[in-house]
């Protein structure tokens, strides 16, 4: 970028950012300038898309991204990430535009953040802080608020420690002796307060988690299989839940519209019942602190009988989104659950893209949660995926154990049923964990 004479690509990027994000100009919104850094091993398109996504995140967080810059570097500068010369050059521009906040797409450390704030003379944050901020603004449930606060404090704690190190370094060099005593003491107090609060939040969350576990167990006493919809943020998970179950949850063209999780009963073809849940969306480089804090919300996924991985087929980079979601699934320990890949927003893509996705992922389903196209086939497919997990059982169940016959009807497939003098002879395919309930009658 040149600060006085924007180049073509600069102007084009600005236009794209603005049309991608700013729906109406609001003078009260903070103005943000975005910076991404591309290293030699990075794919330029991927970094560019990541920067566009950062613009959407910025908009979601309530700031207006006025411009963005993709800086090339061989490696990060230890003091300022982008190099102090580049930082000063960009600062001329941001000051001339009254920018309130500079947002980095890449992760910057606490020392770099402080140095950059001095140069830009405004707030400097990174993608992680931005995502945490969005969660903090939008968390509504008690559990969600506790989780977000925990993530925020864990993010800030090492940043406080960073200040402490610089204070003691100054003290060691003999330049800031006067500040050492009170500085260290205040820092110690702040740190202790934060640690105490973190401990309290963790124990409160444990309590909430126990409650959630009890609810989950109660729901599950009926042994209905559990299906979790997962996917990149804005891929249409809530729309699909609504389409399949009349759940009536909020679905919006916005990143992170959903921050909690919702469970609804799903009626599968053939009369089987299952539980379907929708939860918080994932994103590239989802902050580790958030994953940690939201672990209990995400447990549902790690215990699902089937994970429906929903992908926005109309996204410029669906494969990148799939990878990002796989990364999070791995991190929460859910990548080995049975998974069904489903492309959504089929109404928005042309035949050649359908063909290409089909070649790349022949086993995947394609639907439009919005129009309902492909949804019946998806239900059939979910039914057969779950049925693949069924095992055959033949038993003669006494008439006073009608509950077992009901169970087989609800969660399994009935092959035959004969009423004999000493009970009902049933041949069925049922989920493996339930076979032992029939053991006495086989």
Ligand X SMILES: Nc1nc2c(ncn2[C@@H]2O[C@H](COP(=O)(O)OP(=O)(O)OP(=O)(O)O)[C@@H](O)[C@H]2O)c(=O)[nH]1
Q: Which residues bind Mg ion (CB under 5 A)?
A: 237-238, 257-258
CB of 65 to ligand X, least distance (A): 19
Residues numbered 314-353 forming contacts with ligand X, rule: CB under 6 A = 344-345, 347-348
Give the nearer residue to ligand X in terms of CB position, either 138 or 401: 138
Restricted to residues 208-247, the positions that interact with ligand X (CB under 6 A) are 231, 233-239
Binding of ligand X by 253 (CB under 6 A): yes
CB of 55 or CB of 393, closer to ligand X: 55
Which CB atom, from 242 or from 299, has the smaller least distance to Mg ion? 242
Question: Which residue has the CB atom at the shortest distance from ligand X?
Answer: 281
Residues 356-385 that bind ligand X (CB under 6 A): 368-370
Which of Mg ion, ligand X, none binds 299 (CB below 5-8 Å, type-dependent)? none
Please name the residues in contact with 315: beta carbons below 8 A apart, sequence gap of 6 or more.
232, 235, 321
Cβ pair 385, 340 in contact under 8 A: yes
Nearer to ligand X, 246 or 253 (CB): 253
Got the DSSP string for 256-323? T---S-EEEEEEPTTS-EEEEEE---B-TT--HHHHHHTHHHHHHHHT-SEEEEEEETTSS-HHHHHH
DSSP calls for 324-372: HHHHHHHHHT-TTS-EEEEEE-GGGS-HHHHHHHHHH-TT-EE--TTT-
Considering the rule CB under 6 A, would residue 263 count as an interface residue with ligand X?
Answer: no
Does 257 bind ligand X (CB under 6 A)? Our answer is yes
If contact means CB under 5 to 8 A according to the sort of partner, which of ligand X, Mg ion, none does residue 343 touch? none
User: Pick from ligand X, Mg ion, none: which does 345 bind, CB < 5 to 8 A by kind?
Assistant: ligand X
Nearest CB to Mg ion, comparing residues 201 and 259: 259
Alpha helices in 110-141 (DSSP H): 110-120, 127-138
Please enumerate in sequence order all residues whose Cβ is within 8 A of that of 227, keeping only pairs 6 or more positions apart, or say none: 266, 274, 275, 276, 277, 304, 305, 306, 307, 308, 382, 386
> Residue 253 and residue 246: Cα distance in Å, rounded?
19
Question: Least separation, in Å, of the C-beta of 22 and ligand X?
Answer: 17
**Least distance in angstroms from the C-beta of 244 to ligand X:** 12
Buried b (16+ CB within 10 A) or exposed e, 83-114: eeebbebbbebbeeeebbbbbbbbebebbbbb
* Min CB(142)–ligand X separation in Å: 19
Is 281 a binding residue for ligand X by CB under 6 A? The answer is: yes
Residue nearest to Mg ion (CB): 258
From candidates 50, 94, 113, 258, binder to ligand X by CB under 6 A: 258
Dihedral sign computed on CA atoms, order 356, 344, 368, 384: positive
Contact partner at residue 344 from Mg ion, ligand X, none, CB < 5 to 8 Å by partner kind: ligand X
**Using CB under 6 A as the criterion, which residues of the chain lie in contact with ligand X when the complex forms?**
231, 233-239, 251-258, 281, 344-345, 347-348, 368-370
């Amino acid at each position: 970028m040149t600060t006085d004479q924007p180049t073509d690509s600069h102007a084009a990027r600005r236009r794209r950012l603005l049309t991608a994000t700013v729906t109406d100009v609001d003078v009260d919104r903070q103005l943000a300038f975005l910076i991404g850094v591309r290293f030699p091993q990075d794919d330029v398109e991927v970094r560019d898309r990541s920067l566009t996504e950062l613009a959407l995140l910025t908009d979601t967080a309530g700031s207006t991204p006025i411009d963005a810059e993709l800086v090339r570097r061989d490696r990060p500068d230890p003091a300022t990430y982008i190099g102090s010369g580049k930082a000063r050059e960009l600062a001329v521009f941001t000051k001339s535009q009254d920018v309130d906040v500079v947002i980095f797409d890449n992760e910057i450390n606490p020392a770099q953040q402080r140095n950059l704030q001095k140069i830009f003379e405004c707030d400097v944050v990174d993608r992680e802080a931005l995502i945490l901020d969005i969660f903090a603004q939008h968390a509504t449930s008690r559990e969600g608020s506790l989780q977000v606060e925990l993530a925020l404090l864990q993010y800030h704690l090492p940043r406080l420690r960073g200040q402490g190190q610089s204070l003691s370094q100054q003290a060691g060099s003999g330049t800031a002796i006067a500040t050492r005593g009170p500085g260290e003491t205040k820092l110690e107090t702040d740190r202790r307060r934060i640690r105490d609060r973190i401990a309290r939040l963790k124990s409160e969350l444990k309590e909430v988690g126990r409650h959630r576990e009890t609810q989950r167990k109660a729901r599950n006493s009926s042994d209905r299989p559990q299906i979790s919809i997962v996917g990149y943020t804005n891929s249409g998970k809530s729309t699909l839940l609504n389409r399949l179950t009349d759940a009536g949850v909020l679905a919006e063209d916005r990143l992170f519209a959903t921050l909690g999780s919702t469970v609804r009963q799903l009626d599968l073809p053939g009369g089987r019942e299952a539980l379907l849940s929708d939860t918080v969306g994932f994103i590239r480089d989802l902050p580790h602190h958030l994953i940690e804090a939201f672990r209990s919300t995400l447990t549902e996924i790690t215990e699902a009988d089937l994970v429906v991985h929903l992908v926005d087929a109309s996204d410029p980079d669906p494969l990148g989104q799939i990878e990002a979601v796989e990364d999070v699934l791995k991190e929460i320990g859910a990548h080995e659950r049975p998974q069904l890949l489903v492309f959504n927003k089929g109404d928005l893509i042309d035949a050649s893209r359908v063909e290409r996705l089909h070649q790349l992922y022949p086993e995947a389903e394609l639907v439009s949660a919005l129009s309902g196209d492909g949804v019946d086939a998806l239900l059939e497919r979910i039914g057969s995926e779950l049925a693949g997990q069924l095992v055959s059982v033949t038993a003669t169940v006494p008439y006073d154990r009608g509950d077992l016959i009901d169970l087989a009807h609800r969660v399994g497939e009935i092959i035959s049923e004969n009423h004999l003098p000493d009970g009902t002879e049933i041949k069925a395919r049922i989920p493996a964990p339930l076979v032992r309930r029939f053991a006495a009658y086989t």
